[in-house]
Amino acid sequence: QKEVEQNSGPLSVPEGAIASLNCTYSDRGSQSFFWYRQYSGKSPELIMFIYSNGDKEDGRFTAQLNKASQYVSLLIRDSQPSDSATYLCAVKGARRGGSEKLVFGKGTKLTVNP
Amino acid sequence: ETGVTQSPTHLIKTRGQQVTLRCSSQSGHNTVSWYQQALGQGPQFIFQYYREEENGRGNFPPRFSGLQFPNYSSELNVNALELDDSALYLCASSFGQARSGNTIYFGEGSWLTVV
């Protein structure tokens, strides 16, 4: 089983719709969860992080975490064409020896159609 | 802008050569991590440096090595380059040994092509 799994997509939604991106992880000791957006040819850009169960909202973005189900999601409301990118889920495990290693999924490619 | 700067941005090397990539971390950040991102994949953790010492390593061979300097800038060195080393190399900085909510920011990356 892969450590962090995402649907590779592509996920296609119309402009103005809600885009839902999902991620599951295998390490129950994981502490922090990150969503990065990556435009083609660019480096990952941090959108949100979450480390407590429940929802965390920031503008049009909502991250949801369910540690019991080992599941984290990202909702994008009122999707815009500029949201078209690959979204990477990253998980930081329990600190073993102090390393702050992030484990990434392969990413979900989102296309928002005008 | 994340405050993490990397150089060079693009480079082409020949198989068997050596390469050095550089990273300046965000002001106040004492931890630098390096990741390799192959095309179509998520970034893979290479190693991390905290206060000038390696503090965690991923599944990469010893020909991948690094340094962190007193000002917390860092270098990634790759010897005996192979074609499969062609990738985007990302540097990430953070304030290490911190709480769960510590955020991790990436630089713009260095695109390495091995021919």
Q: Mean pLDDT, to the nearest integer, of B78-88?
A: 98
For residue B100, pLDDT over 50 is answered with no
Which chain A residues contact residue B3 at CB under 8 A? none
The total of other beta-carbon atoms located within 10 Å of residue A99's CB is: 21
The predicted structure's pLDDT at residue A8: 78
With beta carbons less than 8 A apart as the criterion, state whether A18 and A64 touch: no
The predicted structure's pLDDT at residue B98: 46
With beta carbons less than 8 A apart as the criterion, state whether A4 and A103 touch: yes
DSSP 8-state symbol, A3: S
d(CA A51, CA B27): 24
Which chain A residues contact residue B88 at CB under 8 A? 43
d(CA A75, CA B113): 35
Q: Measure in Å the smallest separation between the Cα of B8 and chain A Cα atoms.
A: 14
List, as ranges, residues 55-84 from A with C-beta within 8 Å of B.
none
Residue-wise pLDDT tens digits, B38-51: 999 999 999 999 88
Is the CB of A48 inside 8 Å of chain B's CB atoms? no
Quote the percentage of chain A above a pLDDT of 90.
78
Contact A100 B104 (CB under 8 A): yes
The answer for residues whose C-beta is within 8 angstroms of residue B9's C-beta and 6 or more apart is: B108, B109, B110, B111
What mean pLDDT, rounded, does chain B reach?
90
Residue-wise pLDDT tens digits, A52-96: 999 999 999 999 999 999 999 999 999 999 999 999 999 987 655
In the structure encoding, which two tokens stand for residue B30, read together?
A: 């004492």
Contact B45 A101 (CB under 8 A): yes
What mean pLDDT, rounded, does chain A reach?
91
Confidence of residue B96 (pLDDT cuts 50, 70, 90): low
Residue-wise pLDDT tens digits, A1-24: 669 999 878 999 999 999 999 999
In the structure encoding, which two tokens stand for residue B39, read together?
A: 């095309």
Q: Mean pLDDT, to the nearest integer, of B55-59?
A: 90
d(CA A65, CA A74): 9
Confidence of residue B99 (pLDDT cuts 50, 70, 90): very low
CA end-to-end span of chain B, whole Å?
32
Is the CB of A107 inside 8 Å of chain B's CB atoms? yes
Confidence of residue B77 (pLDDT cuts 50, 70, 90): very high
